[in-house]
A and B are shown apart, each in its own frame.
Chain A
Amino acid sequence: MELFELTAHELKDLLQNKKASAVEITESVLGRIDSVEGKVGSFITVCKEEALKRAKDIQDKMDKGEATSLLSGIPMALKDNMCTEGIKTTCASKMLNNFIPPYNATVSKKLFQEDTVLVGKLNMDEFAMGGSTENSFFRKTCNPWDLERVPGGSSGGSAACVAAGEAIFSLGSDTGGSIRQPASFCGVVGLKPTYGSVSRYGLVAFASSLDQIGPLTKDVTDCALVMNAICGHDPMDSTSIKTSYPDFTKALVNDVKGMKVGIPKEYIGEGLNSEVRKSVLDAVEVLRKLGAQCEEFSLPITEYAIPAYYIISSAEASSNLARYDGVKYGYRAEKFTDLIDLYKQSRSEGFGAEVKRRIMLGTYALSSGYYDAYYKKALQVRTLIKNGFDEAFSKYDLVLGPTAPSTAYKIGEKMDDPLEMYLGDIFTVSVNIAGLPGLVVTCGFDGNNLPIGLQLIGKPLDESTLLRVGYTFEQNTEFHKQRAKI
């Protein structure tokens, strides 16, 4: 097996036993990028030289016994909406094509402190808006399992690079499913943590009340390791939760006996692809055989989650993206007549169609006369959805369902129908609306050998339960061992 195919915890063992060096691992990953990136297109920026230099420095530190983190020397990549000091952070937009942040996001800083090696910045839907990574200004990313298909989105680059072995792990951001759906499409593990448990400082905002950074990894063990590195209270983010966070590796226990699992009827009904349904129900059987108590229940307002989500996220986005005016940084139109025209031309030329669509939708929803009818209503739905989950969690330890209605679809297939694309978020958005953690692990493959993701939803700050169930599922199945063949 090549080094790039391994997990972080496997590589950690090799590093500790001096069977591989940080430089060798980084070279292996960079070599993999060289050979497959032309086909997959996970990256916007590859930091080859910096990565090699850093790997060397870290190896030196390790030799002196100084770099002792469990992730020391592990090559990783970041979605291109997380700020990296001195390295372009574009959000896959023409608007930020030339933006080099003067500071690091808290997650970047934390991972650098863990002595990981940044190999590059990953492709995504522009400003994290989209479900297929087709809305990038730079390129389309292809699904490593079938290069004619989308990797999902908006963290498509983050999922594809891990599936293709172009990084050992990556970080994505999840506003309505943007970590979990691409994890499902690309057959990797993806965790959207509890809102407020991973700092958003330095994450270029899409919808502030929903955005959350999380890991994409090859297995649940790596997911726990990365979570240990990135979560925690951050004084720079006032929505960051002050609490003592557990050691997530302690949750890696192969046992679900007596655990109560609820399956929302609404999640396995109409609109769900039959192969996906079968895999999810098979997974339920696996857990049941291992001693979990699984039953169906009703999560009534599921059908309103999508409209509420698109109102809230677009409203916040319209405000968050207003600062891109062509004046202070980023793209500026070449021709304009006055200040207002400078704003108009720069924004018209700098933003892509999907971003403009959502800015207009959000501006409309917030405007006086419509606020009560749309935004306020959406907030009311938000409360009802939270209440629905609260009730579920009074009975169940976790909620289980599919991640997406289908497996990865063909590139271009849904591009002309944004509404159809929005419906792909049906099983994921409620989790963001309620601020809950959601973990995706692979639970099967369809007839085209495309991965199917199982979604586990937990109580706030109860990532440990999700990791435990995910880990148990992995230990009793073989799906996570399969690798995309490119």
Chain B
Amino acid sequence: MDYELVIGLEVHAELSTKSKIYCSCTTEFGGDVNTHCCPICTGMPGVLPVLNKKVIEYAVKAGLATNCEIARFSKQDRKNYFYPDLPKAYQVSQFDLPICKNGYIDIEVNGEQKRIGLTRIHIEEDAGKLIHDEWDRGTLVDYNRCGVPLIEIVSEPDIRSAEEAKAFLETLKAILEYIDVSDCKMQEGSLRADVNLSIRPVGQKEFGTRTEMKNLNSFKAILRAIEGEFKRQKTELEYGGVIIQETRRWDDNKGTSYAMRSKEEAHDYRYFPEPDLVPIVLEDSYIEEIRSSLPELPEARKKRYMEDYALPEYDSAILTSSKYYADFFEEAVKMSNNAKAVSNWIMGDLMRILKEKEMEASEIPFPAEYLAKLVKLIDSGKISGTIAKKVFDKMFQTKKDPEVIVKEEGLEVVNDEGALVGIVKKILEANPQSVADFKSGKEKAFGFLVGQCMKESRGKGNPQIINKILKEELEKL
């Protein structure tokens, strides 16, 4: 029997506010353990939370950028559970009145558009981090992350394949980056997703029983988890088993998931309105002000690239898939005035190296100015395309200015005819057969000889000049 996937995603994004959600501690990543915390974020007796206004602004921004209704009245609730990294033994979140609801984002898979609904976006505080290693007698707790603001974006169960899930996450990530509310660094945990997944025979209307896989923090893991869980549920059903509603942990190393807890033993969070915080009441004017401050979003930017730079839709879509790529692209174009070349470099060599090194768009090690300079070096004929590739790799590794690299390594194109004549003569002498072939009308042999000359000049010879000299010398023979 053919089965269909039904997926809903819960995406947690850490907001890029400077201070935490309920106190003024810094949200900076990577401080020494327990140095970014105070009595408030560690829940000492007697302290009270005070909501950071920026959190509301960022959540509303996210809601507006994803076509949500913004609640004029919302409140915060306590979600009660004991866990060592949760110092108050409750998390302040939102339960029945989230700040945004009923939104959607449009994704594109295999050239087809699809709309994925968003149930809600709510604000909440992050928990701390447990350190299990380096200590064999127990577990240590780092409270630095306690109180870092999060938005949780909950999708409708509209996603039908791993590709759609990927497209959804990429589109969402791009939007969040564009509106500058989260840096979306997955390896630092600032973007992570829970996958709710069920399967059903194709054609069946009712949903199957779903499982939830928590805290996946790379696209690769999410895709593998979806595929793995799909197979597991399918096998289970095909062998007459039943799916149990449960939380499962995806082990990306082993490529399997295992049960964490079933619904029967699931937590009763005992939600109730957070009495230490007053309701959030938003004026229309406030929401409109934020709406008017929204920057150009990925879809609009893509269209602009197609029009302004005459780039193909495919290229425009990739360049605008991340704010980092798009900003990098535009800056480099501004300085080099060669959109097509810049686009080719980004889509080709740059993305290839980033992928090889498992780096994200935000981690491009050199400024856009350097790429612009590289393009100019080529356009002005100072280096050849072959050399440029070497310079690019070097630039990525050393973060050096390409002009400096070219100078230091003597990579400039040799235009000196005298020097090139010597090379040409040497090659003609060494390849009598090719010369004979050319004379007998085999045009291909000419190309071979050019190649040999280029090789002899270690790529630095100006190919046009070599061409010219080679023709002249061949005629002489």
Interface residues of A (CB under 8 A from B): 81-83, 89, 91, 96, 99, 101-103, 105, 200-205, 207-209, 235-239, 315-316, 318-319, 322-323, 325, 327-329, 339, 343, 363, 366-368, 371, 375
Q: Which of A91, A99, A201 has the most C-beta atoms of chain B within 10 angstroms of its own C-beta?
A: A201
CB closest chain-A residue, reference B276: A208
The answer to whether A204 and B46 touch across the interface, beta carbons within 8 angstroms, is yes
27 example contacts (A-B, Cβ-Cβ < 8 A) are as follows A89-B46, A96-B45, A101-B46, A102-B39, A103-B44, A103-B47, A105-B46, A200-B48, A201-B46, A201-B47, A204-B45, A205-B276, A208-B276, A236-B48, A237-B48, A237-B50, A238-B276, A238-B277, A238-B278, A239-B276, A318-B80, A319-B272, A322-B80, A322-B88, A325-B82, A328-B42, A329-B44
Q: What residues of chain A lie closer than 8 Å to B82, measured between beta carbons?
A: 322, 325, 343
Question: Known contacts being A208-B276, A238-B277, A239-B276, is A368 close to B270, with CB within 8 Å?
Answer: yes
Question: Known contacts being A102-B44, A205-B46, A238-B49, is A322 close to B84, with CB within 8 Å?
Answer: no
Is B189 part of the contact surface with A, judged by Cβ < 8 Å?
no
B250-282: CB near A (< 8 Å → 1, else 0) gives 000000000000000000101110011110000
A147 to chain B, nearest CB (A): 32
The answer to whether B84 and A202 touch across the interface, beta carbons within 8 angstroms, is no
Q: What residues of chain A lie closer than 8 Å to B47, measured between beta carbons?
A: 103, 201-202
Contact residue range for chain B?
20 to 34
Q: What residues of chain A lie closer than 8 Å to B45, measured between beta carbons?
A: 83, 89, 91, 96, 99, 101, 204-205, 323, 329
Q: How far is the CA of A208 from the CA of B273 in the complex (A)?
A: 11
Interface residue SS majority, chain B? loop
Q: What residues of chain A lie closer than 8 Å to B80, measured between beta carbons?
A: 318-319, 322, 366
Q: 8 shortest A-B CB distances, which residue pairs?
A: A322-B89, A209-B275, A208-B275, A366-B270, A204-B45, A202-B46, A204-B46, A83-B46
Question: Known contacts being A325-B82, A366-B270, is A203 close to B46, with CB within 8 Å?
Answer: yes
Interface residue SS majority, chain A? loop
Is B87 part of the contact surface with A, judged by Cβ < 8 Å?
yes
The answer to whether B272 and A366 touch across the interface, beta carbons within 8 angstroms, is yes
The answer to whether B50 and A235 touch across the interface, beta carbons within 8 angstroms, is yes
A341 to chain B, nearest CB (A): 12
The answer to whether A323 and B276 touch across the interface, beta carbons within 8 angstroms, is no
Q: How far is the CA of A391 from the CA of B139 in the complex (A)?
A: 57
CB closest chain-A residue, reference B277: A238
Is B90 part of the contact surface with A, judged by Cβ < 8 Å?
yes
Q: What residues of chain B lie closer than 8 Å to A208, measured between beta carbons?
A: 275-276
Q: How far is the CA of A343 from the CA of B89 in the complex (A)?
A: 11
Is B43 part of the contact surface with A, judged by Cβ < 8 Å?
yes
Q: Which of B44, B45, B49, B275 has the most C-beta atoms of chain A within 10 angstroms of its own C-beta?
A: B45
CB closest chain-B residue, reference A368: B268
The answer to whether B272 and A328 touch across the interface, beta carbons within 8 angstroms, is no
Q: What residues of chain A lie closer than 8 Å to B89, measured between beta carbons?
A: 319, 322-323, 325
Q: How far is the CA of A96 from the CA of B341 in the complex (A)?
A: 68
Question: Known contacts being A102-B39, A239-B276, A363-B270, is A323 close to B46, with CB within 8 Å?
Answer: no
B25 to chain A, nearest CB (A): 14
Is B78 part of the contact surface with A, judged by Cβ < 8 Å?
yes
Interface positions of B from 37 to 67, Cβ below 8 Å from A: 39, 42-51
Q: What residues of chain A lie closer than 8 Å to B44, measured between beta carbons?
A: 101-103, 329
The answer to whether A103 and B48 touch across the interface, beta carbons within 8 angstroms, is no
B28-43: CB near A (< 8 Å → 1, else 0) gives 0000000000010011
CB closest chain-A residue, reference B81: A322
CB closest chain-A residue, reference B274: A208
The answer to whether B48 and A319 touch across the interface, beta carbons within 8 angstroms, is no
The answer to whether B39 and A238 touch across the interface, beta carbons within 8 angstroms, is no
Q: How far is the CA of A114 from the CA of B200 in the complex (A)?
A: 71
Q: What residues of chain A lie closer than 8 Å to B84, measured between beta carbons?
A: 327, 339
Q: What residues of chain B lie closer than 8 Å to A81, measured between beta carbons?
A: 46
A184 to chain B, nearest CB (A): 27
Question: Known contacts being A323-B87, A323-B88, A366-B80, is A238 close to B48, with CB within 8 Å?
Answer: yes
Q: How far is the CA of A318 from the CA of B272 in the complex (A)?
A: 11
A99 to chain B, nearest CB (A): 7
Q: How far is the CA of A209 from the CA of B45 in the complex (A)?
A: 16
Q: What residues of chain A lie closer than 8 Å to B51, measured between beta carbons?
A: 238
CB closest chain-A residue, reference B272: A366
CB closest chain-A residue, reference B78: A319
Q: How far is the CA of A339 from the CA of B132 in the complex (A)?
A: 14
Out of B43, B48, B50, name the residue touching A323 (CB < 8 Å). B43
Q: What residues of chain B lie closer than 8 Å to A236, measured between beta carbons?
A: 48, 50
Q: Known pairs A322-B82, A366-B271; list 19 more (Cβ under 8 Å).
A: A101-B46, A201-B46, A205-B46, A207-B275, A209-B275, A235-B50, A238-B51, A238-B277, A239-B48, A315-B272, A316-B275, A319-B89, A322-B80, A323-B45, A323-B89, A328-B42, A366-B270, A366-B272, A367-B270
Out of A89, A204, A319, name the residue touching B270 (CB < 8 Å). A319
Q: How far is the CA of A96 from the CA of B169 in the complex (A)?
A: 46
Q: How far is the CA of A321 from the CA of B47 in the complex (A)?
A: 13
Q: How far is the CA of A367 from the CA of B270 in the complex (A)?
A: 5
Interface positions of B from 376 to 406, Cβ below 8 Å from A: none
The answer to whether B278 and A239 touch across the interface, beta carbons within 8 angstroms, is yes
Interface positions of B from 290 to 348, Cβ below 8 Å from A: none
Q: How far is the CA of A371 from the CA of B271 in the complex (A)?
A: 9
B409 to chain A, nearest CB (A): 58
CB closest chain-B residue, reference A328: B87
B71-108: CB near A (< 8 Å → 1, else 0) gives 00000001010101001111000000000000000000
Q: What residues of chain A lie closer than 8 Å to B272, measured between beta carbons?
A: 315-316, 319, 366, 371, 375
Q: How far is the CA of A208 from the CA of B272 in the complex (A)?
A: 12
